[in-house]
Amino acid sequence: MSRLVGSDPPAGPARILLRPARGWNALRLGELWEYHEVVLVLVWRDIKVRYAQAALGLAWAVLQPVASMIVLSVIFGRLARVPSDGLPYAAFALTGLLPWQLFQNGVQRSSLSLVQNANLLTRVYFPRLSLPLAAVLGTLVDFVIAALVLAGLLAWYDWTPAPERLVWVPALAALAVLNTLGIGLWLSALNVRYRDVQHTLPFLLQLALLASPIAYSANLIPEGGWRTLYGLNPMVGVIQGFRWALLGGPAAGSLLAISAVVGSLLLVSGLYYFRRVEWSFADRL
C-alpha cells in the first residue's frame, strides 16, 4: 500500500519497559498506607475472634500476666530468693512480663497469620504485609490492659514513676513492637514453606523466656563479652528499659542500644525476605 509523501508513519504498538524496583521502593511500604483501612479491619477482626466466644472475654488479658506474676513471685521471689535490684518482686516481675507478653503473643499470632488466612490470600489482592502487621498490632490491646494492671500494682506499693523516665515508655513499647514485627515477618514467611516452624515456635519461645530478664535481673550476667552476647536477644534491652522507666532500676545502657540495633536488622531483613518470597504464598497455601 502506498502512502503520501510527507505523511507520518503509522504508529506502532506501545512499548512498556519494566525494571525491577530497587532499594526501599522494592518494599512498597506505601501500599500499607493505601490499604490502611484493611489493616484496621484485620486488627479489629483479630480482637473480636480472639475474645468473642471466650467465657471470660477481655479478662484473659488480665489473668495471664497476673497468674504469671504470682507464679514467678512464689518460685523465684520467695523460694529461690532471686535478687530483684532492691525492688518489690511482684512489681519487678510484672514489669518484665509487660513487654514480654506483647512480644510472645505478637510472634505467635504473626507467625500463623498467613497460613490462617489462606482463603483470603488466594482470592483478593491486598498487601500481604498487612496480615503479620495486623496480628502484631492486635496484641497492643492486651498490652494496654496489662499496663493498667501494673499501674494498679504500683499504686498498691505507693510507687510513683519519675516523670522524666516515664516519657520513655511509649518509645520502648514501639521498639518492642518493631522487634516483634521483625521476627514475625521472618516466621510468617518461613511458615508458609516449612510448617515445622509453627511446631517448633512454642519451644523456642520457652527458651527465649529463660534467656530474657523477666524472673531475674540482667545485672546478674557478668559484664563484658557475656553481657554483650546476652544483649543479642532483642527483648533484653527492652525489658531492662521498662524497669528503668517505671521502677527506677539500673539503666539499660548498652543493652538497650544492642537490642535496638538487632531489632532494626531483624525488621529490615524480615521486610526484604517477606517481599522476596511473597509471590509464592498463594501457590504454597
Question: What mean pLDDT is predicted for residues 151-166?
Answer: 91
Q: How confident is the model at residue 251 (pLDDT cuts 50, 70, 90)?
A: confident
Q: Which of 24-38, 90-104, 233-247 is predicted with the least confidence, judged by mean pLDDT? A: 24-38
Quick one: three-class SS letters along the chain?
Answer: CCCCCCCCCCCCCCCCCCCCCCHHHHHCCHHHHHCHHHHHHHHHHHHHHHHCCCCCHHHHHHHHHHHHHHHHHHHHHHHCCCCCCCCCHHHHHHHHHHHHHHHHHHHHHHHHHHHHCHHHHCCCCCCCCHHHHHHHHHHHHHHHHHHHHHHHHHHHCCCCCCHHHHCCHHHHHHHHHHHHHHHHHHHHHHHHHCCHHHHHHHHHHHHHHHCCCCCCCHHHCCCCHHHHHHCCCHHHHHHHHHHHHHHCCCCCCHHHHHHHHHHHHHHHHHHHHHHHHHHHHHHHC
Question: What mean pLDDT is predicted for residues 105-113?
Answer: 94
Q: What is the pLDDT of residue 15?
A: 62
- Which range of 36-50, 170-184, 221-235 scores highest in mean pLDDT? It is 170-184
Q: What is the pLDDT of residue 139?
A: 92
Question: What mean pLDDT is predicted for residues 57-73?
Answer: 86
pTM tops 0.85, yes or no: yes
179 pLDDT above the threshold of 50: yes
Q: How confident is the model at residue 281 (pLDDT cuts 50, 70, 90)?
A: confident
Q: How confident is the model at residue 67 (pLDDT cuts 50, 70, 90)?
A: very high
Question: What mean pLDDT is predicted for residues 188-194?
Answer: 93
14 pLDDT above the threshold of 70: no
**pLDDT tens, position by position, 127-140:** 899 999 999 999 99
